[in-house]
A and B are shown apart, each in its own frame.
Chain A
Amino acid sequence: MKKLFLVATAIVLAGCSSQTANPQPSDSPGGTVTVIAHDSFVMTDQQINDFKAATGITIELIQAGDAGTMVSSAILTAGSPSADVMFGIDNTLSAKAVNSGVFEPYESQASGTFKSEFQNLTAGGHLTPVDFGDVCVNFDKKFFAANSLAVPTSLADLTSKQYSGLLVTQDPGTSSPGLAFLLATIATFGDEWPTYWEQLRANNVKVAGSWSDAYFSDFTAGGGNGAYPLVVSYATSPAAEAVYAETELSEVGTGSMTAGCFRQIEFAGILRGSDNVAASRLVVDFLVSKEFQSSVAESMFVYPVRQDVALPDAFTRFAAEVRNPLSLPSEVIDVNLDAWLTAWDAVMKN
């Protein structure tokens, strides 16, 4: 028993030694900036160290789960926030957060380098766009070739009989791409969107609980024993397949529809009540700097907002170029989301 006690003490001391440093509030640049992000955010140790070497600012990262949890915590603590900078709030939730007084106004000086459609996208001077992606229907090329079936090219196509029982999407109440797909149909069909979903349902669409479930269990090209060659995913998923493959791929087995895609834009903002606003501004600038922007494609599979950043090879070869993405104004989404989800439930779950 004594031995067990000694071992236990050693273990406890080992745990103690890996504590992270206590952030010191400071008014001048320098000090620590806490960045709260969702679980898909990637910032490498290299980038954090480089930034510290250049500015003396230490970035501490909190990964708060999904975007909804992150934004919830910010709204609840508006004015005395858990962090200094938030990254990853997207256009479905931005209006709600801005209206709740979550952010400190700041517009990055670098906005002149953004692609034109992002230059004035600041939600009244509160947010800075950092990256974007498109949620599109992906298809398994092998399946369509083997069955001599043409790949669908529009949302309307998905309701035709030849694609019956081939599409899997996600529940918009629990999945971000699932929500984006619903918004795409609303943007396309306006008030008639419930009819579209009735047709999808009649065409045996499957609704999965999460993206990973749909992609890995149901998608025929996901590695599991899936039976659905059409899945709602990202325009960059085919590029991801190429990057993560064990050998260099000259072509990828999946492709993406380029119509019916919904654009998701991710923003960063300074939280109102932060005690290190000056340093936080530098961190936001860093997120839209050339160095960071050239990493977002490969690490998060999203597109940078800057136009002077080169895309990785896999993107230019395999990611679909979406020329006319669909979108809805944040305010409109904020006001109607509850009603839309209730209506969707009524169509799909009865």
Chain B
Amino acid sequence: MGCGDEKLKRPWWISASAVIPVLVVGVLVVVPIYNLVKMIIALPTSGIFSIGVLASLGIILFQTLTIATLTAVGAVLAGLPLSYILARYSVKHRKFIQALVLTPFVLPTVVTGIAIKGLVGSAVSQGLWLILIGHVYVNLAVVVRIVTPVWEAMDQRFIYAARSLGASGWRLTRTIVWPLIRSAVWRAYGIVFVFGASSLGLVLILGDGRWQTFEVAILRQISVLVNFQIAAVFAVVQLLLVLIVLGITSRRRVVARAARHGVHDRKPLTKSVAARVALYVYVIALIIPLLWLVKTSVTLDGSVGFSAWISVLTENEILESISVDNVFMTTLKVAALTAVISMLVGGAAAMTTLGSRLTANLGKTGFVTLGISSVTLGLALLVTVTRPPFEFDRSLWLIAVTHSLVALPLVMAQVQPLLQSVDARLLTAAASLGAHPFAAYKTAYGKVARTSLLSAASVSAAVSLGEFGAASFLGGYDQPTLAVTILRVLSKPSEYSLAFAAALSVMLAAMTLLVSLGFDSVSESEHRKVRHD
């Protein structure tokens, strides 16, 4: 019986926080998609529901589910050990490793695909397994960023108590550790599943044409056949699949309340050879593709040449009307805007988990962007924001908002489990001592919210740095971001193009590291303030 379970009267602003994600998602996703669907329905149909289409729908569904499940299982299995090590051992360069984990996630999939093919392609031939390797590599970040903080927040007194009662090893993990991290792991599983199911670039590059996801199928229908009716059917099925999966994996699970001043000791790394070895393996696996990119950026015509780097650091000649520092400035501006907007929108969306069932469910609309095919969303935005009555000025602001939408599910997935793990009795205690509701919430949740939001901001900035899809036309032709520029360079046939693209990718990876380290440093200093009061 939880004697801390009497509910404090919920302040209006917790319930109202649901308005923000609903509004943002509504305006930027629901309205354009609705607009698109209206237009598609208005066109004469031409036998969309033929046997052929239904058969191919079944095949694509099977393939998507296979790729997504294997990806999610693989990413969780690969990510949990690293999360454990980062959470429970005192790792000297933890911030750097956290930042390094993000880089594969940020690099444009074309670049990651080419790098992985270059490194592993001779050992593993193109097809399902190479796709999975690529997917796990890219999605490791999702698992680590979501699970590690929750594992860190776990009060180890439960473990000490269980140990003193004789439990150890597997039993300890199953009965004590797992229930505490379960919700975060399921969240991560769900998100990686969805990323795997909507994968496009890596499937095209690392696959052999026999495996498709819905996103690939939609692209084929639109880019050559201009058959958007069938594309729309696929997009709807994709959305339903995603909603079902997210619904299953993000049910609010009861988590044992962790006391605020619990024990969060970290073991020294010297104590475990296995942990040290594992850490080295992870770091090497994460760094090698970056090293491949560096090598490619200085390889010209079979020998070492630095002209790609000279071009990157001075005026570049390949894209005459765009200067490289213009590209860098645009990219940084958009990433910064995205981080700010994400913290506001994501923070509000995450708060909904503290509200009533209705509020929490409304807040879940923030996850919806995971399920919308990016090809479809791009088309929907293209036909909506450029025409009255929804005409928006194209601007960096608009790109940043779209990027925040893409990052929103990740922000929510990072912040919500942490908010849920705070003991609500703190709230009642504060209130019963006479605190105004706002002050009570601030005392109970404020610091957890702050640190997790800052960490989520670095993920959003990272998402923004690497985003090139639906939003790229929203900013105007002469303001491309780095990811868009890399793609443009890779459309020019020349050995030089690859070196140049590799150099730009290294810069992008460096930016990601800096952004992530920056945010995490601020969040660390906030975190330290927590421990000392």
Q: Spell out A's residues near B (CB within 8 Å).
A: 1, 4, 8, 11-12, 14-16, 18-22, 34, 39-40, 42-46, 61-69, 71-73, 75-77, 80-83, 92-93, 96, 171-174, 176, 179, 207-213, 215-217, 221-225, 233-234, 237, 240-241, 243-246, 299, 301, 337-338, 341-342, 348-349
Q: Which of B303-344 contact A (CB under 8 A)?
A: 305, 307, 318, 320-321, 333-334, 336-337, 340, 343
From B169-177, B201-209, B235-243, B267-275, the one touching the partner chain is: B201-209
CB-CB nearest 5 A-B residue pairs: A209-B204, A68-B223, A244-B494, A223-B498, A82-B386
Known contacts A174-B216, A241-B495; 18 additional CB pairs below 8 A are A1-B450, A4-B522, A12-B340, A15-B397, A18-B479, A43-B477, A69-B382, A75-B43, A75-B228, A76-B36, A76-B39, A96-B226, A209-B207, A212-B110, A222-B493, A223-B494, A245-B495, A246-B307
Query: What are 12 A-B interface contacts by the 8 Å CB criterion?
Result: A18-B396, A62-B394, A82-B382, A207-B209, A209-B205, A216-B497, A217-B118, A223-B299, A223-B495, A224-B117, A338-B225, A349-B210
Contact for B205 among A46, A68, A210, CB less than 8 A:
A210
Q: Are A44 and B321 in contact (CB under 8 A)?
A: yes
- Which of B36, B223, B343, B490 touches A212 (beta carbons < 8 Å)? B490
Using CB atoms, name the residue of chain B closest to A213. Answer: B205
**B321 to chain A: closest residue by CB:** A44
Contacts of A80 in B (CB 8 A): 387
* CB-CB contacts below 8 Å: B461-514 with A: 472-473, 476-479, 487-488, 490-499
Residues of A near B207 (CB, < 8 A) are: 209
The complex places the Cα of A246 from the Cα of B310 at a distance, in Å, of: 11
Instruction: Output the residue of A18, A46, A72, A348 with the most chain B CB within 10 A.
Output: A72
Q: Nearest-CB distance from A62 to chain B (Å)?
A: 6
Residues of B within 8 Å of A40, CB to CB, are 491
Contact A173/B220 with A14-B333, A71-B226, A217-B114 known, Cβ cut-off 8 Å: yes
Check: B102 CB closer than 8 A to any chain A CB: no
Give chain B residues whose Cβ lies under 8 Å from the Cβ of A44. Answer: 320-321
Inter-subunit contact B219/A174 (CB<8 Å)? yes
Chain B residues with CB under 8 Å of A233's CB are 493
Docked pose: A66 CA to B470 CA in angstroms: 12
Interface centre among B208, B296, B473 (most CB of A within 10 A): B473
Given contacts A20-B394, A174-B219, A342-B52, contact A222 B491 (CB under 8 A): no
**Inter-chain contacts of B219 with A (CB < 8 A):** 174
Query: How many whole Å from B389's CB to the nearest CB in chain A?
Result: 11
> Is A68 in contact with B382, judged by CB distance below 8 angstroms?
no
Contacting pair B226 A93 (CB below 8 A)? yes
| CB contact list, B275-303 vs A, under 8 A | 296, 299-300
Q: Which B residues lie within 8 Å of A93 (CB)?
A: 226
Q: Is the CB of B383 within 8 A of A174?
A: no
B301 CB, min distance to chain A CBs, angstroms = 8
Residues on the A chain within 8 Å of B522, using CB: 4
* A213 contacts across to B, CB distance below 8 A: 110, 113-114, 204-205
| Residues B337 and A64 in contact, CB atoms below 8 Å apart | no
Q: How far is the CA of A61 from the CA of B220 in the complex (A)?
A: 25
Contact status A216-B498, CB under 8 Å? yes
B221-233 interface code vs A (CB 8 A; 1 in, 0 out): 0111111100000
Q: Which of B337, B378, B387 contacts A15 (CB 8 A)?
A: B337
* A221 and B113 contact, Cβ closer than 8 Å, known pairs A64-B382, A71-B226, A172-B224: no
Query: CB distance B493 to A15 under 8 Å?
Result: no
Whether the pair A240, B494 counts as a contact (CB closer than 8 A) is yes
Q: How far is the CB of A333 from chain B (nearest CB, A)?
A: 10
Q: Which residues of A contact B396 (CB under 8 A)?
A: 15, 18-19
Do A234 and B493 touch across chains, with their CB atoms under 8 A apart? yes
Question: Does A72 lie within 8 Å of B222, measured CB to CB?
Answer: yes
- Chain A residues with CB under 8 Å of B52's CB are 342
B498 touches A222 (CB 8 A): yes
B318 neighbours in A (Cβ, 8 Å): 244
- Check A341 against B225 for contact (C-beta < 8 Å): yes
Q: Which residues of A contact B426 (CB under 8 A)?
A: none
Which residues of A have CB within 8 Å of B334?
Answer: 15
Decide if A65 touches B378 in the complex (CB within 8 Å): yes
Report whether B397 and A62 are in contact in the complex, using a CB–CB cutoff of 8 Å. Answer: no
For residues 385 through 411 of chain B, which have their beta carbon under 8 Å from a beta carbon of chain A? Answer: 386-387, 393-397, 400
Chain B residue contacts of A223, Cβ below 8 A: 296, 299-300, 494-499
Q: Are B497 and A19 in contact (CB under 8 A)?
A: no
Contact between A210 and B204 (Cβ–Cβ < 8 Å)?
Answer: yes
List B residues 188-225 near A (Cβ within 8 Å): 203-205, 207-210, 216, 219-220, 222-225
Residues on B with C-beta less than 8 A from A172 are: 224
* B187 CB to nearest chain A CB (Å): 27
Residues of A within 8 A of B228 (CB): 72, 75-76
Would you call A62 and B477 a contact (CB within 8 A)?
yes
B530 at the interface (CB under 8 A from A): no
**A348 and B378 within 8 A (CB):** no
User: Given A40-B491, A69-B375, A73-B379, A61 and B305 touching (CB < 8 A)?
Assistant: no
